[in-house]
Each structure stands twice: as structure tokens, then as C-alpha cells.
A and B are shown apart, each in its own frame.
Chain A
Amino acid sequence: MDRRTPLARAQGLGSAKQGVHHWWMQRLTAIALIPLVVWFAISLVMLSGADYTTVRAWIGSPLVMVLLTLTIGVGLHHGQLGLQVVFEDYTSGAIRVAMIVLTKFIAILFGLAAIVAILRIGFGG
């Protein structure tokens, strides 16, 4: 039985049925980030003050390439999911849509640029 008001039915709005996917992806990326972030935070502390050559040698080793790509990719995905909720909570209308689209575009742009940079270092471009 349809319990919506006649107006709501006419407008055809309602749940897009994607909430569970968003919720689950946020948790899945959170679990993945636990070991990745611990590894990355320790690495950052150890590398602080390191010069260009040292940092490149570190980024270019195969294990670091994989873990760093995962950290940046999964981290940005988790971040944009979280920011989407922040914009949904505090903004509305066209600004909400614009901010969510912008967030996702920036996350993909910086993520892809960082991954290309990692590959360039690793494969000696």
C-alpha cells in the first residue's frame, strides 16, 4: 500500500535506494584504512625532513607503490563519502548538488594525479 501523500506521489520523489551502499562503502573503506593509515603515519614521521632522492627511492619500491596507491585512493574515496554527508546535512538545493559534484571531481582529479605520480617515480619516467 502506498502511504505517501498525493503530492509526494505526483512528484515521484523518494529514496533513491542507494543509502545502504553509501553506508556500507564508508564502513568498508574505514576498515581498510585502519592498517593503511597506521603504516602511512609511521612512514611520514620517519620520512620527515627526508630529501628528494630518499623520498623517491621510498615511493618507488614496489610494496610502497601498492600501499601508497591504496592509501590515497581508499582515503580519498572515504573522504568524499564523508564530505557528501556533511554537505547533505548543512546545505540544500543547488549549492548542495554543486558542492557534492565538486567534491567528487576534486577527489578523482587529485587521486588520479597522485597515482600517475607514483607510477612515474616507480617506473622511472
Chain B
Amino acid sequence: MSVANRPPDRPLSPHLQVYRPQLTSMLSILHRATGIALSVGALYLAVWVITASATSPRSYAIFSSFNMSILGRIVLGGWLFSTYFHLCNGIRHLFWDAGYGFELKDAYRSGWIVVGVSLVATLVSWVVGLRLV
């Protein structure tokens, strides 16, 4: 279609600046965002294993001391939240793939369950392991 005969002012959908946020769309965006974060996080974990394999403990000590710093704990805490959220929401996606839970109220209910479970799991991990709280 050329520019000349294109209908004027066709609405763009969904336009992010004016699109009212809903739980469903926010979780969809967050699923992709945490997926990207976890891909980078997987490389970070690979580095962790590689430093542990070095003959001298020096490189592992550097890596470990960063992990236990405030910034390191925030990175690991963020990794854990991304993991729990992507895991729970991924299971939600697998149910959709199998054909279940498409009703609007079901999509909202499963969405809130995902939010609740991933937040509780993150909080427990932070308190037990990373001692952030």
C-alpha cells in the first residue's frame, strides 16, 4: 500500500504510551524481560563454575567477594526473583499451550498466583540465603 492511499489516522494497537496497563499485559512483558535477564544470568553462573575450577582459589575469591557485597546480593536477589517469576509464569504458559486457563478470570487468577508465589519464594530466599533483609 502506498503512502497516498493509506487510510488517515489509523489507530495503532497496542500503543504503549496510551495503553492502560493490565496485569495480563504487564506479566507478559515481565516474562520476556526476566527471560532476557536470565540469559545473561546464565553466563554469570557459567563464570561462577569456571572460577571454581581454577587451580588457585584467587579468582573464585574475587568472584565470591563480589557476590557477597551489597551490589552482588542485589544482582543475585534479582536473579532469584527472575528465576521464580519466569518459572511460575512459564508453567502458566505451558497450561495455555495445553489449552487450559484461557477464560479471562482464569488468566487473572493464575496471574495473581504467579505474582504471589514468586514474591514469597524470593523473600524466603533472600532471608534464608542472601541475608538481604
Contact = CB atoms under 8 A, between A and B. Distances in A.
Main secondary structure of the interface of B (DSSP, over half): helix
Contacts of A113: 46, 50
A65 to B, nearest CB: 11
Interface string B19-56: 00000000000001001101100110111011011000
Given A41-B84, A45-B80, A72 B52 contact: no
B52 A114 contact: no
A63 to B, nearest CB: 16
Interface in A25-52: 27, 30-31, 33-34, 37-38, 41, 44-46, 48-49, 51-52
A62 interface: no
Contacts, number: 95
Contacts of B50: 113-114, 117
Given A34-B87, A86-B32, A111 B46 contact: yes
Interface residues of B, number: 34
A80 B42 CA distance: 11
B129 A46 contact: yes
Contact of A48 (B32, B67, B97): B67
A51 B60 CA distance: 8
